Structure 1
Amino acid sequence: MDTNQDMLAKVQNAMKAMQRSDLGSSILAREKRQRFVRTVSASTKLLDRARRINMQSHTHDIDRVGFAARILRAATEADEPNGESSPNTDTNTLESVEAIAIAGLTDSTLEDNIEEEDFENTLIDLIADRAGLDLEELFIQGDKSSSDPFLALTDGWLKKAANEVDGTSDADFASDDVESMFDSMIHAVPKKYLRNREDWKFYAHWDIEDAYRNVLRNRGTGLGDSAQTTAQGLAYKGIGVEDSSNMPAGTVLLAPSSNLVYGMYRDIRIEPDRQAKKRLTDFVTTMRVDCHYEDENAAVVGRGFSG
């Protein structure tokens, strides 16, 4: 049985392998940070699809530029056309907020794993896997007016979307008809954004994705059979349908995957806090993050599906 001093020494040795020795701090070494970020992204479908920005300061501008109207015109030889077309420019800003996680690992867990050469990677994966789920929850459900202190850190994608349809009292769609909901959401998208439907996704609460599988099953077709018996991906009118564990009940987000943006600023820190009397070590992880859209007009939130 390891003594407390032995366990502390092992934890410290593992942390040294993870951290930037040139700074003598808790900042993850570059390769360990990359592993942490990859694991965070891989933990959830939405973060894996979204575009990640490695922020170089606590704020980062997401600039977009485009032409809203026709720029070609009839040309006449030896005649200079009048006027010129100017692009529209807009900016969304990521403003990082700090999040903290405290993961307690018991001595028995550490003893079973600390001798392994790859222990620090195991530790990073354990923390990053859960952090990914939590960050997705924040980026989806974040609302500065929330009574939940974590969700109140920032406004998430549901709050920042420019378009919304509501099935409450059948205002915009029949609340018990999943296809009616999908149609209403598609109609709410400004049509200039729907040139490439393959990049768009319905990110739905699990019950909504399941309800759509039941609709397909009841049609008695080959597609219905596969929707019932396999986990193959679904689509509605050329747009993929995916369940998202952090989507609130009765809610769907429709957006191109490339339009979802999140940023991580500052080196990720993991610091050990030894609790000898409890025979465990708390690993305190801190990071600064935020989320936004490339263009919030190319996103629709659907609420109020009741099944």
Structure 2
Amino acid sequence: MMTNDMLLGKLENVLKAITTTDLGASRLAPAKQQLFVRTVSQATRILDEARRIDMTSHTHDIDRIAFGSRILQAATEGEAPTGEAKPEFSTNKLESVEVIGVSGITDSTLEDNIEREGFEDTLIQLIAERVGVDLEELFLNGDKASSDPFLAKTDGWLKKAANLVQGTTDFDPTNVEAMFDAMIHAVPKKYLRDRSQWRFYVHWDIEDAYRDVLRARGTGLGDTAQTTATQLAYKGIPVVDSANMPAGTALLVNPANLVYGIYRDIRIEPDRQPKARRTDFVTTLRVDCHFEDENAAVVGQGYTG
């Protein structure tokens, strides 16, 4: 078994291999930072499909440009066209907030892995996978009015979406397909051109209820929904479950419209706990989320089953 001093020496070498020294020894080196961010993005289905921005400063503007009306008109030979269609410009802003996490790794785990090649990457992946799950929770459920200090750091996608449908008021809260229909109807139709590019991100209970609806129809699709984990879709829109989605809630959106940013200064620092035979790795980073266009997103709430 390694002594405490031996373990500290090994850990010091590991951290030197993954950090830079120009802005403090805890800042991840560029290559390791890319691995960390990539692992965070792949940790959940929503983050993997959303659009990530690697922020070079603490704020970042998300600009969009679109024509709100027709630009073509009838052409008449010898006459110049009248009028001019002007594009509409809009900007949303990412304003990064700092979050911190503590990941404890026991000495037995370190001793089993410290001599293996690539332990630096293993360490980063262990931390980044959990960070990804937690960031998805923040980006979905963030609310500056929340009593949860973590969720109060920023407003998430569920709060920032411009369209909301609610059970009883807008749909039968016991009918999952009625919920999906109400959400589709709430999307401004200029956005809903290619349904296959959109997603119903839902809580597990909603995805499961939809499988039960298909099963009850006694069709081949119903059998498949019951016996396999095949990807479901409703009217051409894939239905994707997320563990971080609140119960009875769904988000209808094109994932390319979901934008989140991670500021490049990611820090990992060790905090040795010798009495517990554990080392805590303290990770700090700055993040935020928004839509490119919040009008092209619908939240459904209040499904009860």
Deviations 1:205-244 (A, max 9, x none): 0000000000000001111010000101011011110101
Residue pairs, 1:92-241, within 5 angstroms: 92-167=92-167, 170-241=168-239
Identify the residue that residue 71 of structure 1 maps to in structure 2. Answer: 71
1:227-269 deviation per Cα after TM superposition (whole angstroms, max 9, x unaligned): 0001010110111101011000000000001100000113211
Q: 1:53-81 deviations in whole A, cap 9, x for unaligned?
A: 01111110000000111110011111112
> Structure 2 CA distance, aligned partners of 1:187 and 1:280?
53
Q: Secondary structure at the match of 1:91?
A: strand
Give TM-score scaled by structure 1 length. Answer: 0.98
Instruction: Calculate percent identity across the aligned residue pairs.
Output: 69
CA distance in 1 between partners of 2:24 and 2:189 (Å): 54
Instruction: Specify the alignment match of 2:254 in structure 1.
Output: 256
Distance 1:292 1:22 in 2: 32
Asked if structure 1 preserves the Cα contact closer than 8 Å seen for 2:207 and 2:239, the reply is yes
For 2:33, the equivalent position in structure 1 comes to 33
Total equivalences in the alignment: 305
CA deviation map 1:280-300 (0-9, x unaligned): 111110000000001000000
Scaled by the length of structure 2, the TM-score of the pair is 0.98
Q: 1:267 is paired with a residue of what secondary structure?
A: coil
Q: Give the corresponding residue for 2:276.
A: 278
Q: What do residues 147-177 of structure 1 show as CA deviations (whole Å, max 9, x unaligned)?
A: 000000000000000000000xx11000000
Report the equivalent of 2:55: 55
Moved over 6 A (4+): none
Per the alignment, residue 291 of structure 1 pairs with: 289
CA distance in 2, matches of 1:276, 1:57: 37
Which range is displaced more, 102-111 or 139-148? 102-111
Range moving further from structure 2, 21-30 or 232-241: 21-30
Over 3 Å counting, the alpha-carbon distance change for 1:91 and 1:24 in structure 2 is closer
Cα displacement (A) at 1:276: 2.1
Does the residue aligned with 1:46 lie in a helix, a strand or coil? helix
User: Tell me, what secondary structure is at the counterpart of 1:271?
Assistant: strand
Residue of structure 1 equivalent to 2:265: 267
* RMSD (Å), alpha carbons: 0.9
Q: Indicate if the aligned counterparts of 2:16 and 2:25 stay in contact, CA closer than 8 A.
A: no
* Structure-2 separation of matches of 1:202 and 1:279: 45
Q: Deviations over 1:123-151 (max 9, x none)?
A: 11110111000000000000000000000
Of 278, 298, 304, the residue aligned with 1:300 is 298
Distance 1:192 1:149 in 2: 38
Instruction: Say which is worse superposed, 228-237 or 268-277, in terms of deviation.
Output: 268-277
AA at the equivalent of 1:282: D
Displacement of 1:87:
0.5
